[in-house]
Amino acid sequence: MNIVRLGPEALATLPADVLRPTYDRRGVTAGIVHLGAGAFHRAHQAVFIDDCIAAGDAGWGIVAASLRSPDTGDALKPQRGLYTVAERDGANEMLRVVGSVLDVLTASQAPDALLARMVDPRTRLVTLTITEKAYLRDANGDLDTAHPDILSDVATPGRPRTAHGFLVEALARRWKSGIAPFTVLSCDNLPANGRVLHRLLIEFARLRSVDLADYIEKDVACPSCMVDRIVPATTDADRARISARLGVADAWPLVTELFRQWVIEDHFPLGRPDWERFGVTMVDDVAPYETMKLRLLNGAHSAIAYLGLLCGKATVADAFADPSIQGFIQGLWTDLVPTLESADALGPEDYTRKLAARFANTALKHRTAQIANDGSQKLPQRIVAATLQRLAAGKVCGRLALVLAAWVEALGSSDVEGFTDPLDGRFRRESLSEMPPQAAVELVFDAAGIARGAAEKGHLIDMVACTLQQLRAEGVYALLLRLNNED
Ligand code: CS2
């Protein structure tokens, strides 16, 4: 690796074809605090904000915080928050150094600094990408009030560990000091993410005080939004290639596609960046966009991940290049589109055509094992909701059942590196493959709260168990072939 690091002084030395901030970063103030400073945030929201700042909207710089791991801060602090986004398509790779992240904090090491930043009146917006599992919901979808981190955050509000703890403590301090509350914008892949987060914050605040809960309910805006950009985990080869092109070392560049989309409900009492000038769609109700994306993109992604793992395909592009898997995904889309009651106007057929091209992008090495992670948190909104809808309408669900059976089967195979789930530790994953299909499916579904309370739950479990039986007996390709020839 080059010894000289990317940083403000290095900007002038970069090759001419590398885009970089054209604005003076010293004149930018932080209007946004972001919780969850991972790759997705830096390749998505921070890029839109970079565009806003470049156009002169200098009040919306970002202070990004990782809740636990110091990795991002360690990588970006020496670079004064600068990092590269590499947009890849085919043989082309466009490099852009992003300047909108002004500082990176690690919440677990500096909770006071993060709280102070959130309480600062200049902070008008707090955005989040903390992943599904960090919402800390129980099997009913309510706040998991028995979670040790929630208990700790209620007992010691000044030293929070969770996003809920930071948000509620910062809002409480602002309230006490007469500072208007910031808007909270969840950017995680959850249906009605803003509404869900608002409810969890109210539940959390109620554990501290009823008045605080009422205040958050009435005065804090939590619009929902849909975010989309495929951002695989950065590899050492990416770091080396990008640093070589820059001529200086970037410790944490990101690799992504050209595509990016953000659809946001327009409810920002303290104002917001002029997003629509930079390709963001502002709407009254994000639900149709969100359901379409969660089911057609993320649902297909999860299907590719589990089927890919069973077929020995390491990346999405490899899996999608296999005609059996691609044919299956096309069929899955045909099953899913009719479940999107209000998405007709959004053109779901055109959407899936574009998705097929995105999944086929061989320049992105998006690992199936990465997407397979946390299935217990992802599959309810990606696959299960649509399956229950189809079951209730008496429609066939063979493909959806195969996705769920493939998940249970993949969970039981111990040889997939880096494939984790919050269910780990609840039971021995290896034991799933030794259990009869019905028992394995029941165990996993119950532990994950899948279809809890749904009238079709028994039917769903029987159907997935039967598919798992066939999967074990005949192998994944035989099932794919049968389903692909069905209609
Ligand atoms: C993926 C998403 O890892 C996953 O579960 O399905 O991260 C996906 O790449 C993004 O939602 C795309 O916008």
- Range 167-195 burial, b when 16+ CB lie within 10 A, else e: bbbbbbbbbeeeeebbbbbbbbbbbbbbb
> Taking the domains of the chain in order of start, what are their residue ranges?
8-283, 287-486
Compute the average pLDDT of residues 284-292. Answer: 97
Cβ of 371 closer than 6 Å to ligand 1, yes or no, is yes
Compute the average pLDDT of residues 288-317. Answer: 97
Give the pLDDT band (50/70/90) at residue 2: low
The CATH homologous superfamily of the domain defined by 287-486:
N-(1-d-carboxylethyl)-l-norvaline Dehydrogenase; domain 2 (1.10.1040.10)
Segment (H or E) for 448: helix 437-448
Segment (H or E) for 55: none
- φ/ψ (deg, to 5) at 193: -55, -40
Q: Is 424 helix (H, G, I), strand (E, B) or coil?
A: strand
Range from 41-45, 89-93, 194-198, 353-357 carrying the lowest mean pLDDT = 89-93
Segment (H or E) for 425: none
Q: Is 101 helix (H, G, I), strand (E, B) or coil?
A: strand
Q: How far from 464 is each of 328, 387, 390, 393, 424, CA to CA, in Å? A: 17, 11, 14, 18, 21
Cβ of 161 closer than 6 Å to ligand 1, yes or no, is no
> Would you say residue 119 has pLDDT above 60?
yes
Give the pLDDT band (50/70/90) at residue 472: very high
Q: Nearest Cα to 197, choosing from 236, 235, 171?
A: 171
- The 8-class DSSP code of residue 133 comes to G
Q: Which long-range contacts (CB under 8 A, 24 or more apart) does 140-144 make?
A: 140/449, 140/452, 140/453, 141/196, 141/449, 142/203, 143/200, 143/203, 143/204
> Would you say residue 120 has pLDDT above 90?
yes
Give the number of other Cβ atoms within 10 Å of residue 425's Cβ: 8
- The 8-class DSSP code of residue 253 comes to -
Which of 131, 260, 297 most suits a substitution to test ligand 1, by most atoms within 8 Å of the C-beta?
297
Compute the average pLDDT of residues 48-64. Answer: 98
pLDDT per residue as tens digits for the range 150-201 = 999 999 999 999 999 999 999 999 999 999 999 999 999 999 999 999 999 9
Q: Is the ipTM of this complex over 0.90?
A: yes
Contacts with 372 (C-beta within 8 Å, 6 or more apart), sequence order = 302, 305, 306, 309, 410, 416, 419
> Which amino acid, 454?
A
Helix pair 148-155, 193-208: axis angle to 10 deg = 50
pLDDT score, position 343: 75
Compute the average pLDDT of residues 58-70. Answer: 97
pLDDT score, position 147: 97
Give nearest CA residue, ligand 1 atom 9.
Answer: 230
How far is 114 from 102, CA to CA, in rounded Å?
Answer: 13
- The pTM score is 0.97
Ligand 1 atom nearest to 382, measured from its CA: 6
Instruction: Find the 419 Cα to ligand 1 centroid distance in Å.
Output: 15
Architecture of domain 8-283: 3-Layer(aba) Sandwich (3.40)
Distance from chain centroid for Cα 328? 24
Which of 189, 263, 309, 359 most suits a substitution to test ligand 1, by most atoms within 8 Å of the C-beta?
189
Q: Are strands 281-283 and 261-265 parallel, antiparallel or unpaired?
A: parallel
Check: CB of residue 232 under 8 Å from CB of residue 301: no
Compute the average pLDDT of residues 132-138. Answer: 96
pLDDT score, position 109: 96
Compute the average pLDDT of residues 420-426. Answer: 92
* % of the chain surpassing 70 pLDDT: 99
Compute the average pLDDT of residues 197-221. Answer: 98
> Would you say residue 415 has pLDDT above 80?
no
Q: Nearest Cα to 117, choosing from 187, 37, 186?
A: 37
Locate 199 and state its tokens.
């409810």
Instruction: Find the 189 Cα to ligand 1 centroid distance in Å.
Output: 8
Instruction: Give CA angle at 15 (13, 20), nearest 5°.
Output: 80
Ligand 1 atom nearest to 374, measured from its CA: 5
pLDDT score, position 129: 98
* % of the chain surpassing 90 pLDDT: 95
